[in-house]
Amino acid sequence: MSTTEGDEPEEKKYCCGNSAQNEAGYVSKCDIVIAVYGVIVYILLTVLTFLSRQTVLDFAHRYPSFREVEEYYLNINQLYQILFVTCATIWHLYELGLAILLLKASTDRNDSLLKLWSNMTIVTVFVGIIISGVAIFYTQERSNLGTAALVYYLYKWYGLWICLELRREIKLGMNPYALPSDF
C-alpha cells in the first residue's frame, strides 16, 4: 500500500496493534494448543476408562464440576463410551487440522486457503454451538459448560473476523510491513 505525503496509514483494529497476518498466526497457534490439549484429554480419558476406571471415578468424586462424568459417561454402555471418546478425539483432530490450515494460509497470505478456513470454521462453529447447546441442556453444571462454550465461540468469531480482515488486506494489496514510518 502506498501513501502520499499527508495521508495517514489506516489505523490498526487488532489486538495489541498487531497486523492481521500476525494476529491470524497467533489465533492459529492458540487453536493448535487447544486442539492438542483436547486430543490428549480424550486419549487419557479413554485409557483411564478402560485400564483404571476407579481413577476416573475418584477424579469425578473429588471435583464437583466433573461429577456428571460418572452419570453421563461411566454409567453408559461401553460401546457408547467408545463412540463418545472417538467422536471427541476426531473433533479435536479436525480442529487441529483447521488450525494448521490457518497457520499455513496466514503465513503464505493465501486468500483461497483463508476462504476455505473461514467456510469450514463457520460450519464448525454452528455445529459446535448446537452440540454445546444440547450438552448444556442435559447437564446440571450449566454455568461452567455454558461459560466455557460462550468464551470459546466468541474467540472463534474473533478468529473469523481477523481472517476476514486479512483477506481484505490481501485483496486490496495491502502489506502492513510496507507502511511508511515517521522516523
Is there a domain that residue 4 lies in?
Answer: no
Is there a domain that residue 102 lies in?
Answer: yes
Is there a domain that residue 127 lies in?
Answer: yes
| pLDDT tens digits along 139-149 | 766 677 788 88
* Residue 69 · residue 78 · CB < 8 Å: no
Three-class secondary structure of residue 171 per DSSP: helix
| pLDDT tens digits along 23-81 | 999 999 999 999 999 999 888 888 887 787 788 778 777 876 666 666 667 777 778 88
Is there a domain that residue 69 lies in?
Answer: yes
What grid cell was written down for 8? 495517514
Domain that holds residue 156: 19-175
Specify burial of residue 136 (Cβ count, 10 A radius: 0-12, 13-18, 19+). Answer: middle
Is there a domain that residue 3 lies in?
Answer: no
